């Protein structure tokens, strides 16, 4: 089909077939089947029937309105190399090509905490015994108070009770102070040693550990935190590594922490009740003293068990064959010295030795005279 000028308009091919186009294929994201893409309607997979989604790229939107064109930036003329107001900087890298790294700081040797733990264990046991004696003395005083409501008490008995209460209370305080003075350095060394056994750096400084153990009201929580960390690290090292698990404390340590909190609460309640001046306040204070002494005995006893556990984890299990001496095996061949001494024996001594005669095992037949016939 042509126009009046005898040529075909552009884009019009008349009755000629359209040129062949390469078909478009798309892959289903659900069943991964490759299939031709249809042009009419939403495309769905011929295999599973899922809706096929196509990514369509669009040009990025312009910053301003569509009619505004970005203005070209004016290029400033070259102003020369950079200038410094205060003069040329004097700093620079050192004029070296290679420099060896300084050697790492050597780790300080870990001091053995086992002797301190053993001493603290015995001191905890002694403190527990003193606390039990003090609890008995307070119980005797409370019994005398009950009897004094109806009977007149002897002066010697009352003075003996007062002396026993004062002496046992002073012994408990002194034993607790000595135990704390020995246990705090031992726990500090144990915390560092337990971390080093796992290949870790100590997570807390020495000042932080001492503060958590000694600062009032903070040590109610801090002391349990420190002993729990020590127990967890020692238990993990005894199992040949932590294996990615969080170190956990044993039941002995958890019960000690609970008794420590209960004892602290009882001490605070006793001090608060001691400010009362009535007879009932005095009687309540005596009862609270009994509870405080019993709680102190429990804390000290569990502390001794806990410190003994730390010592056992540090030293390892004791072998049942420790101290045995194994006898060396006897030689299977004669020694060289014995062979030489046997070779040096003279032949005359061998000849002069009494050697029993050996009889001939083959008996010779006796000669029998035959009669001669005449």
Task: Report the predicted TM-score, pTM, of the whole model to 2 decimal places.
Answer: 0.58
DSSP 327: P
Q: Give the Cα separation of 5 and 243 in Å (integer).
A: 92
Confidence of residue 32 (pLDDT cuts 50, 70, 90): confident
Q: Give the Cα separation of 123 and 116 in Å (integer).
A: 11
Read off the pLDDT of each residue in 264-293 and give the average, rounded to a whole number. Answer: 89
Query: 26, 43 in Cβ contact below 8 A?
Result: yes
pLDDT digits (tens, 9 = 90+) for 90-130: 777 777 777 777 776 676 777 889 999 999 999 999 999 99
The pLDDT value recorded for residue 58 is 79
Pick from 23-27, 204-208, 339-343: least confident: 339-343
pLDDT at 40 over 80: no
The pLDDT value recorded for residue 263 is 95
pLDDT digits (tens, 9 = 90+) for 307-336: 999 999 998 877 777 778 888 887 777 666
pLDDT digits (tens, 9 = 90+) for 145-163: 888 888 888 889 999 999 9
Higher pLDDT among residues 252 and 354, named by residue: 252
Q: Within a 10 A sphere around the Cβ of 291, how many other Cβ atoms?
A: 17
The pLDDT value recorded for residue 281 is 86
Read off the pLDDT of each residue in 3-15 and give the average, rounded to a whole number. Answer: 50
Read off the pLDDT of each residue in 208-215 and give the average, rounded to a whole number. Answer: 94
The pLDDT value recorded for residue 113 is 92
Query: 192, 204 in Cβ contact below 8 A?
Result: no
């Amino acid at each position: 089909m042509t126009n009046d000028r005898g040529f075909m308009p552009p884009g019009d091919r008349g009755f000629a077939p359209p040129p062949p186009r390469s078909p478009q294929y798309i892959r289903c994201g659900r069943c991964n089947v490759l299939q031709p893409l249809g042009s009419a309607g939403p495309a769905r997979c011929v295999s599973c029937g899922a809706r096929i989604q196509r990514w369509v790229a669009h040009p990025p939107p312009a910053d301003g309105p569509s009619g505004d064109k970005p203005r070209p930036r004016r290029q400033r003329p070259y102003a020369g190399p950079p200038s410094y107001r205060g003069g040329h900087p004097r700093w620079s890298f050192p004029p070296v090509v290679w420099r060896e790294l300084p050697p790492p700081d050597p780790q300080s040797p870990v001091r053995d905490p086992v002797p301190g733990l053993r001493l603290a264990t015995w001191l905890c046991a002694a403190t527990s015994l003193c606390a039990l004696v003090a609890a008995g003395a307070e119980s005797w005083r409370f019994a005398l108070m009950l009897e004094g409501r109806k009977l007149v008490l002897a002066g010697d008995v009352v003075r003996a009770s007062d002396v026993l209460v004062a002496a046992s209370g002073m012994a408990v305080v002194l034993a607790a102070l000595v135990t704390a003075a020995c246990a705090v350095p031992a726990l500090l060394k144990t915390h560092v040693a337990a971390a080093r056994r796992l290949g870790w750096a100590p997570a807390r400084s020495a000042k932080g550990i001492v503060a958590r153990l000694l600062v009032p009201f903070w040590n109610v929580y801090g002391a349990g935190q420190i002993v729990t960390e020590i127990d967890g690290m020692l238990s993990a090292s005894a199992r040949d590594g932590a294996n990615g698990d969080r170190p956990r404390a044993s039941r002995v340590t958890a019960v000690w922490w609970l008794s420590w909190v209960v004892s602290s609460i009882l001490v605070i309640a006793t001090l608060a009740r001691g400010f009362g001046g009535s007879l009932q306040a005095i009687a309540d204070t005596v009862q609270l003293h009994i509870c405080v002494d019993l709680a102190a005995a429990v804390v000290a006893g569990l502390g001794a068990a806990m410190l003994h556990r730390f010592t056992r984890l540090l030293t390892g299990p004791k072998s049942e064959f420790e101290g045995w001496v194994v006898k060396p095996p006897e030689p299977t061949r004669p020694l060289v010295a014995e062979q030489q001494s046997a070779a040096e024996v003279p032949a005359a001594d061998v000849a002069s030795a009494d050697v029993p005669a050996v009889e001939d095992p083959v008996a010779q037949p006796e000669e029998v005279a035959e009669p001669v016939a005449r």
